[in-house]
Amino acid sequence: MNDSGLVRRQSGVALWRQIADRIRAAIADGSYDETGMVPPETVLAADFGVNRHTVRAALSALTQEGMLRPVQGVGTLILRRERLNFPISRRTRFTEGIGTQARELSGHVLDHAEEPASAVVAAALDVAPGTPVLRIESLRMADARAVSRSTAWYPLPRFRGIADVYARTGSVTAALKDFAVEDYVRVKTEISAVHAEPGDLSDLGLAPGAIVLVTAALNADPHGLPIQYAVSRFPADRVQFTVEG
Amino acid sequence: MNDSGLVRRQSGVALWRQIADRIRAAIADGSYDETGMVPPETVLAADFGVNRHTVRAALSALTQEGMLRPVQGVGTLILRRERLNFPISRRTRFTEGIGTQARELSGHVLDHAEEPASAVVAAALDVAPGTPVLRIESLRMADARAVSRSTAWYPLPRFRGIADVYARTGSVTAALKDFAVEDYVRVKTEISAVHAEPGDLSDLGLAPGAIVLVTAALNADPHGLPIQYAVSRFPADRVQFTVEG
DNA sequence: TGAGATTTGTCCGTATGTATG
DNA sequence: CCATACATACGGACAAATCTC
C-alpha cells in the first residue's frame, strides 16, 4: 500500500526524511498492522527506490522518536501510538473532548500578563485596539506528552486574576465558572496547518519539518459576549479534529 | 515580526527550505503588508542567522512558486498572499463556501468506477462491507490553481450515473439535485494534516515536505440517509478551514 | 547630469551533509 | 568500514539595476 511513489531529490528535504514521513503516515493509517512490524530494510529500499543506507537513516529517526524498536535478527517493531481526537462543536471543551482517550490530562500556565490588545485580538474580543487584555500562555499534556500550546486573551477587568485559578485547577472551564461563567459556546474556529517553528520544537517536542495544526478560536458567554480568544498549536502527528454537524 | 528563531541544522530539512516555509507563513499572515515587499536579502540573512546565499535559495523557491518577483535594485515584490477560507458547517457547500474568494471555480472528474465498499467506507455509508459503491476521483481548481483532490464514495444503485452529471456540471450539489437530493447536510468532518505524498506533488502541484490538510466528510440527505463519504486533500499553504458554531 | 547608497544577480572556492555502491 | 558523486551552506568579491540627493 506504500508503493507508487518515487521520492523526490534535490527538493530541500533529505530522502531519509521524506521516507521517514511516509513510513510514519503508513503506520498511522494501519498499513503494517498485520505484522506489527515495518517491512525489512531491503524491501523498503526497493519500494522507495533508494539505497538501504538511506532507509536505515529514516528508520533511525523514527526510532529516535520512540515510534519503532529495531530488534536484530527479527525486524523493526512498531510501538503503536494512537492519534488523539479533539471534537469541535458549539460546546467544545478540552477536557471533556479528549475524555477517555488519555489516562492523564493536565493544563499548565506558562506565563500571563496584561497587555494592550492587538488589532486581531481587539476585533475578536470586540474591544478597541489598545484596550488592556489578559494574555495567558499555557501548555496541555495528555499522558505526559504535549498536545497543545495555547495563547489565550481575556477581556479586562472582567477576568482579572483568572490565571491564578487556571494555574490551580488546570481547567479553563473550572476557572471560568469561578468568574460566574456557568456556560460558554464556541463561536468560531479557524483551522490551518504550518510547519513547526522554533518555538514548537521545544514546547511541543517536535522535529524541524514537523506539522503543526493551528486553531484560532473564539468563545462567548450565553449572552454572546466574547470571553476568550485563543490561538492554539497542536502536533499534527498526535492530534486530529472532528467537526460534528 | 519574524524574529526569535534560529533555524535548525542537520535535521533532514535544508535550511533554505525551512526559511522558505517561514517566509511563506509571514507573507500569509500579513507581516510584510506595509511595503508589499520581502525585507532585503541581507536583513533576512541576519534575522535567520544564515548566509545570504541560503536566503537567496529560499527566495528562489518562492519565486518559482509564483509568490514573489525579485527586481534588481529595488527589492523582492510579493505577488500573492491570500489563503482561501473554506467554511465548514452543517450546510457545507464547496462552491458557495469559496464564494467570491476566487474568480474562477471548477470541478473535474478524473476517474470513476464501481467497487466493493471497504470497511471504512461501508461503516460511513451504513452498508455491509463489500457492497458495491460508486467511487469518484475529482480535482477542484480555483483561479487555475488546484485547491483540493477528493475521493468520494456514493451508495448504489441510488447514484448510478452521477459521475457523468458531475463531470458535465462540475458541481456536486447540482449533480445530487439531478438525483432528487434537493438538500443535504454535513454530518461529520474529520480534519488532520500530513506531509504531501507523491500523488499530492503532481495532483496539487506541491513540493516534498509541503503540508496537506486531509478531511474525511460524511454527507446525508434530509432523512439522515448517508449519500456521500469523501476524503479530500487540500494544500495547507492555500487553504484554511473555518468552523462556525 | 552624476555620485553614492541600496539591492539583486553572478562568479569564485571550500567545508560539510547526503546518497550510492 | 571504505570510496565517490552531488547537494547544501558558507564566505567573499564584484557586476548590474534602481533610487535618492
Query: Chain A within 8 Å of B201 (Cβ-Cβ)?
Result: yes
Cα–Cα distance, A109 to A163 (Å, whole number): 7
For strand C, the positions having any atom within 7 A of a protein Cβ are: 5-11, 17-21
pLDDT of residue B4: 36
Q: Is B12–A7 a contact, with Cβ atoms under 8 angstroms apart?
A: no
List chain A residues with CB under 8 Å of B209: 11-13, 17-18, 21, 195, 209
When comparing pLDDT for B104 and B125, which is higher? B125
> Residue A3 above 60 pLDDT?
no
* A219-229 pLDDT per residue, tens: 999 999 999 99
> Residue A189 above 60 pLDDT?
yes
pLDDT of residue A81: 67
Q: What is the mean pLDDT of residues B162-191?
A: 92
When comparing pLDDT for B209 and A17, which is higher? A17
List chain A residues with CB under 8 Å of B200: none
- Comparing A39-48, B27-36, B97-106, B200-209, which segment has the lowest mean pLDDT? B97-106
pLDDT of residue B10: 61
pLDDT of residue B194: 87
Question: In this complex, which of A185, A187, A245 lies closest to B185 when CB atoms are compared?
Answer: A245
Radius of gyration of chain B (CA): 21
In chain A, where does the domain assigned CATH 3.40.1410.10 lie?
84-243
Interface A-B, measured as beta-carbon pairs within 8 A, has a size of 163
In chain B, where does the domain assigned CATH 1.10.10.10 lie?
3-78
Alpha helix ranges (H) inside B65-207: 94-98, 119-125, 162-169, 172-178, 198-203
List chain A residues with CB under 8 Å of B244: 187-188
CA angle A60, A61, A67 (to 5 degrees): 90
User: Which CATH number applies to A3-78?
Assistant: 1.10.10.10
Query: Chain B within 8 Å of A236 (Cβ-Cβ)?
Result: yes
Q: Homologous superfamily of A84-243 in CATH?
A: Chorismate lyase-like (3.40.1410.10)
Footprint of strand C on the protein (CB under 7 A): A 9, 14-16, 49-51, 53-54, 57; B 10-12, 38, 40-42, 53, 56, 59, 70-76
When comparing pLDDT for A7 and B211, which is higher? B211
Cα–Cα distance, A34 to B87 (Å, whole number): 38
Q: Is-contact B86 B239, C-beta < 8 A? A: yes
Q: Is A218 exposed, middle or buried (0-12, 13-18, 19+ CB in 10 A)?
A: buried
Percentage of residues in chain B having pLDDT higher than 70: 94
Q: Which residues 168-197 of chain B have a CB within 8 Å of chain A?
A: 185-195, 197
pLDDT of residue B1: 35
Nearest nucleotide to B69 (CA to C1') is C8
Q: How many helical (H) and strand (E) elements, i.e. helices and strands, does chain B have?
A: 8, 11
Q: Is-contact B239 B147, C-beta < 8 A? A: yes
Q: Is B48 exposed, middle or buried (0-12, 13-18, 19+ CB in 10 A)?
A: buried
For the beta carbon of residue B60, count every other beta carbon within 10 angstroms: 14
Question: What is the spatial distance, in angstroms and rounded to an integer, between the CA atom of A9 and the C1' atom of D14?
Answer: 32
Mean of the per-residue pLDDT values of chain B = 88
> Residue B8 above 70 pLDDT?
no
Quick one: closest CA in B to A207, which residue? B11
- Estimate to the nearest angstrom the gap between the alpha carbon of B50 and the chain centroid: 31
State the pTM of this model: 0.81
Question: In this complex, which of B4, B13, B207 lies closest to A209 when CB atoms are compared?
Answer: B13
Question: What is the spatial distance, in angstroms and rounded to an integer, between the CA atom of B75 and the C1' atom of D18?
Answer: 9
* B17-51 pLDDT per residue, tens: 889 988 988 898 788 988 989 999 999 999 999 99
Q: What is the mean pLDDT of residues B77-96?
A: 83
> Residue A1 above 70 pLDDT?
no
pLDDT band at A4 (very low <50, low <70, confident <90, very high): very low
Footprint of strand D on the protein (CB under 7 A): A 9-12, 53; B 9, 14-17, 49-51, 53-54, 57, 71-74
Q: Is B245–A198 a contact, with Cβ atoms under 8 angstroms apart?
A: no
Question: What is the spatial distance, in angstroms and rounded to an integer, between the CA atom of B48 and the C1' atom of C2?
Answer: 37
Q: Is B211–A194 a contact, with Cβ atoms under 8 angstroms apart?
A: yes
Question: In this complex, which of B18, B188, B195 lies closest to A245 when CB atoms are compared?
Answer: B188
pLDDT of residue B94: 81
Cβ contacts of residue B232 below 8 Å, gap of 6+?
A: B148, B149, B150, B151, B214, B215, B217
Mean of the per-residue pLDDT values of chain A = 87
Cα–Cα distance, A54 to A48 (Å, whole number): 10
**Closest of A40, A39, A50 to residue A17, by C-alpha:** A50
Question: What is the spatial distance, in angstroms and rounded to an integer, between the CA atom of B53 and the C1' atom of C16?
Answer: 16
Q: Is-contact B213 B233, C-beta < 8 A? A: yes
pLDDT band at B2 (very low <50, low <70, confident <90, very high): very low
When comparing pLDDT for B12 and A169, which is higher? A169
Query: Chain A within 8 Å of B21 (Cβ-Cβ)?
Result: yes
Query: Chain B within 8 Å of A86 (Cβ-Cβ)?
Result: no
When comparing pLDDT for B105 and A19, which is higher? A19
* A95-104 pLDDT per residue, tens: 787 777 877 7
> Residue B162 above 50 pLDDT?
yes
Task: Give how far A169 is from chain B: nearest CA, Å.
Answer: 27
For strand D, the positions having any atom within 7 A of a protein Cβ are: 1, 6-12, 16-19
pLDDT of residue A29: 74
Q: In which element (H, E) is residue A177 found?
A: helix A172-178
Question: In this complex, which of A5, A209, A244 lies closest to B12 when CB atoms are compared?
Answer: A209
List chain A residues with CB under 8 Å of B17: 11-13
Question: In this complex, which of A83, A188, A193 lies closest to B242 when CB atoms are compared?
Answer: A188
